[in-house]
Amino acid sequence: MIKKPKINKSGKVARVDPRGIVRGEKTRVKTARYRKSSSTRWLQRQLNDPYVAAAKRDGYRSRAAYKLLELDDRFSFLHGVHTVVDLGAAPGGWTQVARQQCAGDVSIIGIDLLEVAPIPGATFLEMDFTTDEAEKALLDLIDGPIDLVMSDMAAATTGHQNTDYIRTLGLVELAFDFAKKTLAKNGTFVAKVFSGGTDTALLKDIRANFTKVRHFKPPASRSESKETYLVAQRFKKSS
């Protein structure tokens, strides 16, 4: 039996991915006197974003959960993982995915400037990862090598592309430095980077420490966003 394609409101065939996320639906938002035009645009984008709807349906705290799921679809790094550090964890979408996709006894430590509501099996620190105190607090909680260090951190945007790129690159460098200190042999490092990819010198250092290094923009990443993700696998831990 051949299933009929889903038709959106405009009469066109809507695209549906394996998770049931439907693309192509459009909802118009009327302007209001009390609402700024920028707020109207944001509201319309949210209402028309299939990943926002899917997150509500699937119980994820943010649409970003699907970015990690799609990265794992492509690179298969979550299965069997027992220990995870989640840098820039708020509101907790990536931690939720790790809890579901990793080993049943997975232990997760997350950190963010913002408070993260509790998730079973996870410990969260409300601290600034860029400070020495935060790194010490994380290391104090770690009991043995880590299988996966993942970072969805991004610096607050200024509107100046080069400045935003440099600030986010600085966070990637800090996350990579932490990963080198804590990852187990054959561990994985995943990090958000911005337009331009990863700095040449940093990328050279990452490639020297991992067997496989790739950049990938998951479908859940908005097309207008400058973000992409670096996935470094099979850490070459020195003895």
Length of the chain equals 239
Closest CA to 220 of 44, 96, 87, 63: 63
> Of these residues, 6, 26, 67, 192, which one is catalytic?
192
How many CB atoms are closer than 10 A to CB 46? 13
Return the structure tokens found at 69: 């799921």
**Pairing status of strand 122-126 against strand 83-87:** unpaired
Which tokens belong to 75?
A: 């690179």
Question: Residue 192 catalytic?
Answer: yes
Active site residues: 192
